[in-house]
């Protein structure tokens, strides 16, 4: 009896090692167990084959019965799997099409696996992940700060991501703007960003605006978004974004970098915080705040600060932890130091201290800078 069982086990292991289907392996084992049953049922007790296999008719019948049950289970499972794959495959194909908006309803299996590390976080969980999926975030600028912010927003599952930038990818961008690549030089940054984000997460909708934010198009571009991230590199755009966000009650996460240092804050005057103009009432004189092209910037710095912008966005959307609302975080990469300071609202701020009255006020303010 032992010899037959060893043979059956050897056949099963060989089949598993060779990648044979479980149903076929069990079927072969059933055939091998049928032989001892036949020997005991039809051969005399003194027959050499019956003596070689040993055991009894009852014992071998029990083993055969167990093998038949396992075979039936394996074949039934295989039959069910052959009927089931079409439905989820079709659903995932629809979700993975970049031209389609994110799915409504429950998360697909692919989304659950993709966002598993978020969902098990106590502060986010399933409800927080659903908030991310339903949120609409506009990122101003697809450059140094926008690159990591956009990548992490897409990876986190922010359902609708708008990008506005009129620039094209250049070779000098690639030292720090990790969203873009060498083979996309001269491509509009918003298109380069759209391709990169689609590769990161096909479940998000990317809304590109290949234009420079201006007083004329700003109200239309910002319409419909419930959070704005400003990674622009000029004060005219920063003041314009701040005024529009203040006017429409949209929270603004704004950051800036230069050389080795970066700063970030969440401005939300509708909920009692200062606005950007409270802290920076006027643009600095020419030469006092040189651009990255003029003063240089360490390539990894926008990655650090841009990732902070994405973290603040995720916290704001999901309600996790404490955001930088009413505070500014300053990071000094050269000396590995960071510090926070409280921000106070100005009673005489021309942007958030009094009710806004004219639809064109943000435009007139920005055009005068």
Print the SS3 string covering 319-354: CCCCCCECEEEEEECCCCEEEEEECCCCCCCCCCCC
| Domain map (residue ranges) of the chain | 2-86, 121-367
Within 84-141, where are the H helices? 86-95, 109-114, 116-119, 125-134
What are φ and ψ of residue 327, in 5° steps? -135, 155
Q: Which of 120, 178, 148 is nearest to 305 (CA)?
A: 148
What are φ and ψ of residue 214, in 5° steps? -140, 165
CA 253/CA 150 separation, integer angstroms:
13
Q: Are strands 252-258 and 337-342 parallel, antiparallel or unpaired?
A: unpaired
Token readout for 183 is: 């083979």
What are φ and ψ of residue 337, in 5° steps? -120, 150
Q: Which of 295, 46, 85, 300 is nearest to 178 (CA)?
A: 300
Distances (CA, A) of 321 to 34, 86, 121, 148: 65, 41, 12, 21
| Burial class (CB within 10 angstroms; exposed 0-12, middle 13-18, buried 19+) of 16 | exposed
pLDDT in tens, 75-116: 766 666 555 433 333 333 333 344 444 556 889 999 999 999
| Burial class (CB within 10 angstroms; exposed 0-12, middle 13-18, buried 19+) of 89 | exposed
Checking phi first, is residue 157 left (phi over 0); if not, alpha (psi -120 to 50) or beta?
Answer: left
Dump the DSSP string for 188-212: BHHHHHHHHHHHH-TTSEEEEE-S-
What are φ and ψ of residue 252, in 5° steps? -130, 125
Q: Which of 280, 260, 256 is nearest to 332 (CA)?
A: 260
pLDDT at 353: 83
Specify the CATH number of the domain 121-367.
3.40.50.720
pLDDT in tens, 218-246: 888 888 899 999 999 889 999 999 999 99
Token readout for 7 is: 């043979």
pLDDT at 95: 39
Contact 341, 328 (CB under 8 A): yes
CA 78/CA 70 separation, integer angstroms:
12
Indicate the range of 8-22, 245-259, 337-351 predicted with least confidence: 8-22
pLDDT at 104: 66
pLDDT at 168: 96
* Confidence at 38, pLDDT banded by 50, 70, 90: low
pLDDT at 366: 33
* Confidence at 306, pLDDT banded by 50, 70, 90: very high
């Amino acid at each position: 009896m032992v010899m037959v069982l060893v043979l059956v086990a050897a056949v099963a292991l060989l089949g598993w090692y060779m990648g044979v289907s479980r149903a076929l392996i069990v079927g072969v084992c059933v055939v091998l167990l049928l032989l001892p049953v036949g020997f005991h049922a039809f051969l005399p007790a003194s027959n050499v084959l019956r003596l070689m296999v040993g055991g009894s008719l009852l014992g071998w019948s029990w083993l055969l019965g167990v093998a038949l049950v396992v075979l039936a289970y394996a074949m039934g499972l295989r039959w069910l799997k052959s009927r089931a794959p079409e439905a989820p495959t079709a659903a995932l194909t629809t979700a993975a099409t970049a031209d389609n908006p994110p799915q409504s309803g429950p998360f697909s299996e692919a989304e659950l696996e993709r966002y598993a590390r978020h969902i098990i976080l106590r502060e986010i969980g399933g409800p927080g992940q659903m908030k991310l999926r339903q949120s609409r975030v506009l990122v101003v600028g697809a450059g140094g700060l926008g690159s990591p912010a956009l990548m992490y927003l897409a990876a986190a599952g922010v359902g609708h991501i708008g990008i506005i930038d009129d620039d094209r990818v250049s070779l000098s961008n690639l030292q720090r703007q990790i969203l873009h690549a060498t083979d996309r030089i001269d491509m509009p940054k918003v298109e380069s960003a759209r391709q990169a984000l689609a590769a990161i997460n096909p479940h998000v909708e990317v809304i590109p605006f290949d234009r420079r934010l201006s007083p004329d198009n700003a109200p239309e571009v910002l319409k419909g978004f419930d959070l704005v991230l400003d990674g622009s590199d000029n004060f005219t755009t920063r003041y314009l974004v701040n005024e529009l966000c203040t006017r429409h009650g949209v929270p603004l996460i704004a950051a800036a970098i230069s050389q080795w240092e970066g700063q970030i804050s969440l401005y939300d005057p509708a909920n009692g915080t200062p606005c950007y103009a409270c802290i920076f009432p006027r643009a600095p004189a020419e030469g006092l705040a040189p651009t990255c092209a003029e003063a240089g910037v360490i390539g990894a710095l926008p990655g650090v600060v841009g990732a902070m912008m994405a973290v603040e966005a995720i916290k704001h959307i999901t309600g996790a932890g404490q955001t930088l609302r009413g505070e500014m975080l300053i990071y000094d990469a050269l000396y590995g130091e960071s510090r926070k300071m409280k921000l106070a609202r100005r009673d005489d701020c021309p942007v958030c201290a009094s009710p806004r009255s004219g639809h064109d006020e943000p435009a007139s303010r920005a055009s005068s800078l």
